[in-house]
Amino acid sequence: MAAEGKTIDALGQFELSPVGGVFGWAVSFSQSNLFMVFAVVLTFLLMKATADRGALVPGRLQALGESAYEFIAGMVRDQVGDEGKKYFPFVFSIFMFVLFGNMLGMLPYAFTFTSHIAVTLTLALIVWVAVTAIAIKRHGLRFFTYFFPEGAPLWLAPIIVPVEIVSYLARPVSLSIRLFANMVAGHVMVKVFATFVVLLGGFGVLGWVGAIAPLALNVALIGLKFLVAFLQAYVFAILTSIYLHDAVHLH
């Protein structure tokens, strides 16, 4: 598929196509949606296995679920404080969804739903709207003092307030672009170098020797992509926690 017609088709992997036959066509159920369902089901099964067993000395699956739980619980506690505990389920759901989205995309033939800006922007907007709603609920109209830092001279307000508002509005954009760009860049690079391997392989023995370099690079890239897949889920979750901190404490 990579080298069809001897050209480099790096973006074809992001195309959506309906799955599930007639049903898929009828409700536009694409492979992206399918992998979202996989992510949710796998998260559910993992946490169910963790909670069902409840052994004092955890097995491997339970240890995995517990470390994921404690990782996010610690993050929320460190960043938001004790008031953040009730927002833990929200941050944890976001983290697991993004993590499974990134990690499922690493499987061959799988689809990375976090490589679509529509998906990441929706996630980021959910976070942004929720955080803003929490801030307004907790502080009422005092929320709007967030846009003017205490102690700044008043005559600077016409500059500071619009800048702060634009900066606040830029949050969902930067949050979504970071995740989306990282996932797309990784997959495009792997696809391009994989195509080099196939094209060079067509030139006989000399090509096979030449194909070693892109193949070795791809092995390293796959390792890097696993790191990025985890790191971007981590960054998404910790930025959500930081925004929650701002919402709970203001400044």
Partner 1 sequence: MDERDSFEERLRQARAREGLEKPPKGGPAPHNPWGYGLRAGVEVVSALVVGIGLGFLLDRWLGTWPWLFLVFFVLGSLAGVLNVYRLFSPRPRASSE
Contacts to partner 1 by CB under 8 A: 74, 77-81, 84, 159, 162-164, 166-167, 169-170, 173-174, 177-178, 181-182, 231, 234-235, 238-239, 242, 245, 249
* Residue among 42 and 181 whose Cβ is closer to partner 1: 181
Contact between residue 171 and residue 129 where contact means Cβ atoms under 8 Å apart? no
Three-class DSSP category at 112: coil
d(CA 32, CA 18): 9
* Residue among 104 and 179 whose Cβ is closer to partner 1: 179
Please report how close the Cβ of residue 204 comes to partner 1 at its closest, in angstroms: 37
* Residue among 27 and 170 whose Cβ is closer to partner 1: 170
Please report how close the Cβ of residue 54 comes to partner 1 at its closest, in angstroms: 14
Please report how close the Cβ of residue 10 comes to partner 1 at its closest, in angstroms: 20
* Residue among 171 and 191 whose Cβ is closer to partner 1: 171
Phi, psi of 28 (to 5 degrees): 50, 50
Please report how close the Cβ of residue 143 comes to partner 1 at its closest, in angstroms: 18
Three-class DSSP category at 11: coil
Please report how close the Cβ of residue 240 comes to partner 1 at its closest, in angstroms: 10
How remote is the C-alpha of 196 from its chain's centroid? 28
> Any residues with CB less than 8 A from the CB of 233 and at least 6 apart, and which?
95, 98, 99, 102
* Residue among 27 and 157 whose Cβ is closer to partner 1: 157
Helix (H) and strand (E) counts in the chain: 8, 0
Please report how close the Cβ of residue 93 comes to partner 1 at its closest, in angstroms: 19
- Which residue, 178, 191, 171, is CA-closest to 127? 171
Based on the number of CB atoms within 10 Å of its own CB, is 183 exposed (0-12), middle (13-18) or buried (19 or more)?
buried
* Residue among 69 and 234 whose Cβ is closer to partner 1: 234
